[in-house]
Structure 1
Amino acid sequence: MTKNGLASSLRAVKLGASSLLIASQLAMISTLTTASAYALEGGMTPLTIERMNASPALAGTSPRGLKLSPDGQKVTYLAGRKDNQNFYDLWQMDVKTGKSSLLLNADKLASNELSDEEKARRERQRIYGEGIMEYFWADDSKALLIPAAGNLYYFSLADNSVSLLPIGEGFATDARLSPKGNFVSFVRDQNLYVLNLATKKLEAMTTDGGGVIKNAMAEFVAQEEMDRMTGYWWAPDESAIAFTRIDESAVELVTRNEIYADGIKLTEQRYPAAGKNNVEIQLGVVTLKNKAIDWVTLSDDKNKDIYLPRVDWLPDSKHLSFQWQSRDQQKLDLQLVALDSLTKPKTLVKERSDAWVNLNNDLHFLKQQSAFIWASERDGFNHLYLFDLKGKLKTQLTKGNWAVDELEFIDETAGWVYFTGRKDTPIEKHLYRVPLAGGNIERVSSEAGMHDPVFADNQSVYLDYFNSLSQPPQVSLHGDKGQHLAWVEQNQVKAGHPLYDYAGLWQLPEFKELKAEDGQILQTRLFKPVPFDAGKKYPAVVRVYGGPHAQLVTNSWSEQDYFTQYLVQQGYVVFQLDNRGSAHRGTKFEQVIYRHLGEAEVNDQKVGVDYLRSLPFVDSNNVAIYGHSYGGYMALMSLFKAPDYFKAAISGAPVTDWRLYDTHYTERYLAHPASNEQGYEASSLFPYVKNYQSGLLMYHGMADDNVLFENSTRVYKALQDEGKLFQMIDYPGSKHSMRGEKVRNHLYRSLADFLDRQLKNGK
């Protein structure tokens, strides 16, 4: 963690030759290369399942929660402890000196049992761990707000003091500092509260929350499917707060069994299954001065069955924008209201699709001109557009047969728009910039791999959270043109690094392009066994996800690949293919699946197996498929619909009948059940159960509140009724993500044992 140059001459060459890197990556995609050429340097200790999940983390020091102070002087981040990678403390790095130090030991904060609401919220956020899990900078960079187990702490950097804020009794969730740092807001007991930091006066902004009424809270589908974890938004000048009020009374109340080792917990949950009622949502604005609430007109009285995926204030604090989405998700309108006329919204932009309109987080209203940047897939790929405040298009900032990932930062003074995207290759994410007035796009990032930048609020410096197949996550500080300024965490795999003893056996994949039945390009990657003998035939495991908004075939570091590394060391070929329907390839590639899931996706996986069969070192009679969640669905569909392609399948927490899944996700791809009954039936597993022959292992968390356990039990019953033999492992108390070292050790040991028995011992 020192302010020095790049670690090796190799990386120095890479930084100075980005064009060569691009050419190299394109060549790697189009032709098979030798995996051993990319092997890491290190020891030859075989990887074990227990080491995969133990502390310290194999990836080394991998900070999360990266932030730059608003003044750009400090880098802050959360880092797990060496003896417990899932317990996080708050660290800092001084930008000028490059010196890192512990900022706040989490032991100084109270450790309480999380509320059920917070547990569910963290599951939606995919947050797992203890200690400090989130924090917020004050606008003046002099203090931090730290929520911890329902309490709120104010940390002053002037004297490194921590004070417990007087928020009263109960569990505070979704806490944050107001834009200027004068207030703290949070939700408790389904109402919104504001604490004045100067006077310590606590006031309720809403009072009718409780039961089916929730104020300032995101509903289930907003959290799970829309990437909206909050239900309130501060005006920039702190004069008012916009918030949602949801009424869940129309949503079906289901009693869900969460099965634990020591008993069964009956949980009542209002779950909006496909075709059923959603919440009724309102958008209000409450002023801090008099606590008066006024309501925004979202739609007419005849059309309240809508979604509200995004809300954003304009810089003047006098206007509020919101995104209105139709239930079928084929219409998305950006609307604008003035605070003095909340009943008269004006539509700025309309997005329309014959399939569905994807959501994004890329709306940004400019401060120095009456304009905003908006992301749209209207030309088939996600690109950035500049509009004026009347909704007139000024210019398209990016274009081409490639996709923008995310709008990252706008430097209005210098006139640059920074964004991440796939301009050079779909298997990497890079940082680019384009003039705000329009013009040529410049690539800012250099290293081949995945770049996730975090910009300072008031300066054009950024943190680069970078990783690749050969580099566990590392964090560095960069200037506006990408120039390297300092390391926050270099995380080199060298002697002393947790991965080093195993790195000599670490295998990197070979990339190849295949063609789908409609001629579209499919990206694949193949991991060869180690040691590898070209004269032998090896069993193969196809690792799949296959669902929308996800991508497996990338030049990236992933903990999910640890099991892949274990398998290749056990003598397996591991293969991955991103079928049509997956992300970052444009609407034509993604929307093939509309109204019929599990058809094009399975056909593409069959193309991948046909390729595997053509390889002389693959035992074509011993190919298995393994996936979790949508990948679990894909594993079952592939085994049931193409039993001649797969000898065995492992299906984890699968959706098996889409009528059991939620409205926003399911209807996006399959439409409403009433209008697509045939599509729902064809996309379900049950018409194909009779095709099943043998070789199935299913597992599921018995307290899963995302993909409900019923999805698996229905398959169990159907297979039993058919007299079909299969195996199942169910985990008491586990949620969808299958967290916990002991759970994961048992799970992966079971999967490895199953694959050995199916693909090796039966030969």
Structure 2
Amino acid sequence: MRFRTLALALLLASNGPALLSGQPSAALFAQQKQALSLEDIWASGKLLPRTVPGFDWMKDGRYYAALVNNEVVQHEVTTGKAVQTLVPAADLKPAGQQAAITINGYVFNADEQKLLLSTQTEPIYRHSQKAYYYVYDRASKKLVPLSQGDKQGNATFSPDGRMVAFTRDNNLYVVDLATMTEKAVTSNGAVNKIINGSTDWVYEEEFGFAKGYDWSPDSKQLAYYTFDESRVPEYNMQEWGPLYPKDYRYKYPKAGEKNSIVSISAYDLGSGRSTRMDLGPETDQYIPRMMWTQTPGLLSMQRLNRLQNKLEILHGDPATGKTTVVLTDTNPAYVEINDDLRYLEGGKQFLFTSEQDGYQHLYLYDISGKLIRQVTKGPWEISAINGFDPKAGVVYYTSTEASPLERHLYRISLKGTDKVRISDPGHGIDKVNMSPDTRYFLNDFSKAGTPSVISLREGRTGKLVKVLEDNAKLRETLGQYAMASFEFFKFSTADGQQLNGWMMKPADFDPSKKYPVLMYCYGGPSFGSSSTQTVLDNASGGGGAFNRYLWNNYLTQQGYIVVSVEGRGSSGRGAAFRKATYANLGKYEAIDQGAGAKHLGTLPYVDKSRIGLWGWSFGGYLTALAITTQPELFKLGIAVAPVTNWRYYDTVYTERYLKTPQLNPGGYDDNSPVQHAAKLKAKFLLVHGTGDDNVHFQNSVAFTDALIAANKDFQTLYYPNRNHSIRGGNTSLHLYRQMTNFIQANL
């Protein structure tokens, strides 16, 4: 069953001869190494991989910029050497202020002579934030505030670099940089009623974007979203503080409830008029993407029906608002939303990805929507489009062709020929940031248990230009610890479904002993991105951030084997595998976790009476469902921030996989842990943040109530005002200490 094993205790050792006959045993070797502590993992920061912060490609392809010690510094691509400081720290003190600003982010204008600098950035939800923006002029070295008002959001330069648009208080504004004159594009924005130029909560969370406007290529128009969320029910959270809690109310459409009515308008800067685009008579629908084509007078919009099984690409005339459907993509279950739509130079063709043959592949169309050809084919899926070279007629993309556990960079011609793998041979995950001209790309590469190596490479060949960060110091540090072995495995379920998994064993593993096992799961459906897979050939093995991988190592040092099994519903293996859970979300995912526990129980070194399961978010839901529907298999369960009833979760995500509660009540109720609370036998810990705007604390309250009604013993742990990530200050250290103590006491 096993197809690859990594002995990390040896791989990470920084020096010393190879183990030979007569040398110390594995147990003694492990004892000579340091033991991890929770403080090492969750408090010190010394074991976290280094990244390249603020990396930004510059337009000529010869240089990139990066944020270094609160300065924006230009580097040469071919050498990686710093050649000049574009924004010196000495210039960061605004007129009339005593202190310099701290740069949180930056963006160039078209000629790269001006920059927008953001400071005092304040997160709102997962993607949205607001900040004070400043315009920095490299020639005059002047730093001026973008606006005199409150914090702004979504600030961007116009393509010609002469203007900046931004949002504030649910309205859209434009600033003329020559005069610093500010003009309101909209004025009817109101909290919890009307949003202009930004997205509502559910679009941000489920469609993955917060900036709800786009500049036309000629800088003469702005296309923008308007959300009328006045009919959407409000959710009320309490913010706990001194004396009296504060109410926080926002619009959150739960499954089956009303969504915002969404419109798209095109604002002409010359006339100051907005024209509303014709999105059809139906208002109970989604507009998940909007962008200008390469032609200034042609706007592209994507229209998705409420059940999300029909996607249409519309082309519209901003002068009249008239639109035409040019492409329709349907699926018996649901259609995925991504950012793979690319309009090619010349305005005559576009690229689009679809699962119409069962795997996400690339298709070429003419501008009217007529299919020219399918560009990529095979039993694998494209996970991202990384770049396009119009002169060579070549597309660069990342795919799962090597393995569902891996992601690598390829190129192929628009004719569907001359496919070449650009990434280095071998296994692992390549995260690619390609320059606009495709001459170079930034590659963040990792493989199981090995920290990232970040390098600059030539686009066409993948040839190494320079390693920017190899995390050599971290590798050396990790070599001082007794790290677990890491191995991937496969097994077949009773019904013949082959599943992937990984296993981490103690450094002093003894096959003659019986070990308790802690399983980690997520299980939620998600297309393209590998972030929701828990079995991946990356630094953490797919088990989340690198410090969670270190925590798994810590648990092996305490005598546990740690395992993850990837069940049906996950990405990387095509539509049939991922969409097998449609309309029965949770059912087969829980069955597959149970199959994993049964398989582990057959291994001679596993104590099948001591198998635990834990997960976060969808993984918390899956844990709660698996331990209640298959109570004979699990001794312990930990559910962090779980959904416990899909009726409590949002419209877009939930209805995509379950349809509406009105159409599919059984799909909601049959697979709710609340309905199975009376079956609980495992030792159970339920964790939630009271300030979770995503998976509401209400979910844990409902499950707690059901467990009490069933007279079940369990433990709860709540974190005041923490959101879905449950972090900040000592929070992560505290949470993982509590989970560790619970595991040690009960498994």
**TM-score normalised to the size of structure 2?**
0.89
- 3-state DSSP of counterpart to 1:394: strand
Distance 1:578 1:527, change over 3 A: same
Which amino acid in 1 is paired with 2:417?
G
Match of 2:502 in 1: 525
Match of 2:627 in 1: 639
Tell me the CA shift for residue 32 of structure 1. Answer: 5.0
Match of 1:468 in 2: 447
Which amino acid in 2 is paired with 1:698?
L
Partners of 2:606 and 2:171 in 1: how far apart?
Answer: 59
Tell me the CA shift for residue 621 of structure 1. Answer: 1.0
| Cα offsets for 1:413-432 (capped at 9, x unmatched) | 12210000111111111000
Partners of 1:517 and 1:179 in 2: how far apart?
Answer: 58
Match of 1:4 in 2: none
Tell me the CA shift for residue 597 of structure 1. Answer: 1.7
| Cα offsets for 1:471-529 (capped at 9, x unmatched) | 322321111223434335232334xx486155542335211122345534311111111
Partners of 2:347 and 2:738 in 1: how far apart?
Answer: 60
Match of 2:413 among 430, 435, 452: 435
- 3-state DSSP of counterpart to 2:735: helix
- 3-state DSSP of counterpart to 1:509: strand
Match of 1:221 in 2: 202
- 3-state DSSP of counterpart to 2:111: coil
Partners of 2:88 and 2:672 in 1: how far apart?
Answer: 49
Tell me the CA shift for residue 619 of structure 1. Answer: 1.3
TM alignment of 1:302-701, pairs within 5 A = 303-343=282-322, 345-368=323-346, 370-446=348-424, 448-487=427-466, 489-494=468-473, 497=474, 500-501=477-478, 504-549=481-526, 550-557=532-539, 558-559=545-546, 560-701=548-689
Distance 1:105 1:739, change over 3 A: farther
Which amino acid in 1 is paired with 2:517?
A
Match of 1:245 in 2: 226
Distance 1:59 1:91, change over 3 A: farther
| Cα offsets for 1:742-763 (capped at 9, x unmatched) | 001110011111000001xxxx
Which amino acid in 1 is paired with 2:373?
T
Match of 2:43 among 34, 54, 74: 54
Match of 1:738 among 726, 730, 739: 726
- Percent of residue pairs identical: 33
Query: Is the 8 Å Cα contact of residues 383 and 398 (structure 1) preserved in structure 2?
Result: yes
Deviates more, 1:712-721 or 1:510-519: 510-519
Distance 1:349 1:448, change over 3 A: same
Tell me the CA shift for residue 205 of structure 1. Answer: 1.1
Which amino acid in 1 is paired with 2:412?
V
Which amino acid in 1 is paired with 2:181?
K
Partners of 2:36 and 2:114 in 1: how far apart?
Answer: 43
Match of 1:705 among 690, 693, 714: 693
- 3-state DSSP of counterpart to 1:554: coil
Distance 1:651 1:524, change over 3 A: same
- 3-state DSSP of counterpart to 1:673: coil
Tell me the CA shift for residue 90 of structure 1. Answer: 5.2
Partners of 2:479 and 2:86 in 1: how far apart?
Answer: 32
Partners of 1:328 and 1:391 in 2: how far apart?
Answer: 23
Query: Is the 8 Å Cα contact of residues 628 and 677 (structure 2) preserved in structure 1?
Result: yes
More relative contact order, 1 or 2 (CA 8 Å, 6+ apart): 1
Partners of 1:578 and 1:362 in 2: how far apart?
Answer: 26
Partners of 2:595 and 2:460 in 1: how far apart?
Answer: 42
Determine if the alignment matches structure 1 residue 231 to structure 2 residue 212. Answer: yes
Deviates more, 1:166-175 or 1:269-278: 166-175
Partners of 2:308 and 2:554 in 1: how far apart?
Answer: 42
Distance 1:91 1:546, change over 3 A: farther
Tell me the CA shift for residue 188 of structure 1. Answer: 0.8
Distance 1:32 1:339, change over 3 A: closer
Partners of 1:257 and 1:110 in 2: how far apart?
Answer: 38
Tell me the CA shift for residue 458 of structure 1. Answer: 3.1
Q: Extract unaligned runs of 5+ from structure 1.
A: 1-28, 82-87, 112-129
Partners of 2:303 and 2:635 in 1: how far apart?
Answer: 47
Determine if the alignment matches structure 1 residue 203 to structure 2 residue 174. Answer: no
Deviates more, 1:561-570 or 1:670-679: 561-570
Match of 1:726 among 714, 732, 739: 714
TM alignment of 1:17-36, pairs within 5 A = 31=3, 33=5, 35-36=7-8
Distance 1:529 1:498, change over 3 A: closer
Tell me the CA shift for residue 454 of structure 1. Answer: 1.4
Determine if the alignment matches structure 1 residue 266 to structure 2 residue 247. Answer: yes
Query: Is the 8 Å Cα contact of residues 38 and 507 (structure 1) preserved in structure 2?
Result: no
Query: Is the 8 Å Cα contact of residues 159 and 217 (structure 2) preserved in structure 1?
Result: yes
Tell me the CA shift for residue 598 of structure 1. Answer: 1.7
Partners of 1:238 and 1:417 in 2: how far apart?
Answer: 27
Partners of 2:670 and 2:407 in 1: how far apart?
Answer: 35
Tell me the CA shift for residue 459 of structure 1. Answer: 4.7
Partners of 1:240 and 1:110 in 2: how far apart?
Answer: 34
Distance 1:255 1:733, change over 3 A: closer
Query: Is the 8 Å Cα contact of residues 39 and 507 (structure 1) preserved in structure 2?
Result: no
Tell me the CA shift for residue 37 of structure 1. Answer: 7.6
Which amino acid in 2 is paired with 1:593?
T
Query: Is the 8 Å Cα contact of residues 543 and 627 (structure 1) preserved in structure 2?
Result: yes
Distance 1:686 1:501, change over 3 A: closer
Determine if the alignment matches structure 1 residue 71 to structure 2 residue 60. Answer: yes
Match of 2:11 in 1: 39
Tell me the CA shift for residue 722 of structure 1. Answer: 1.7
Which amino acid in 1 is paired with 2:59?
P
**TM-score normalised to the size of structure 1?**
0.88
Match of 1:164 in 2: 144
| Cα offsets for 1:590-609 (capped at 9, x unmatched) | 11111112210011111211
Query: Is the 8 Å Cα contact of residues 14 and 475 (structure 2) preserved in structure 1?
Result: no
Distance 1:470 1:139, change over 3 A: farther
Structure 1's consecutive aligned runs of 4 or more residues displaced over 4 angstroms after TM superposition are 88-92, 100-111, 156-159, 260-263, 501-504
Partners of 1:89 and 1:632 in 2: how far apart?
Answer: 41
Tell me the CA shift for residue 91 of structure 1. Answer: 5.3
Distance 1:71 1:619, change over 3 A: same
Which amino acid in 1 is paired with 2:383?
D
Distance 1:488 1:78, change over 3 A: farther
Match of 2:542 in 1: none
Distance 1:568 1:92, change over 3 A: farther
- 3-state DSSP of counterpart to 1:135: strand
Match of 1:94 among 53, 69, 76: 76
Distance 1:56 1:615, change over 3 A: same
Determine if the alignment matches structure 1 residue 144 to structure 2 residue 115. Answer: yes
Partners of 1:224 and 1:710 in 2: how far apart?
Answer: 18
Which amino acid in 2 is paired with 1:475?
I
Root-mean-square deviation (CA, aligned residues, Å) is 2.3
- 3-state DSSP of counterpart to 2:237: strand
Deviates more, 1:475-484 or 1:702-711: 475-484
Match of 1:22 in 2: none
The count of residues paired between Structure 1 and Structure 2 equals: 700
- 3-state DSSP of counterpart to 2:403: coil
| Cα offsets for 1:277-301 (capped at 9, x unmatched) | 000111000011121100101011x
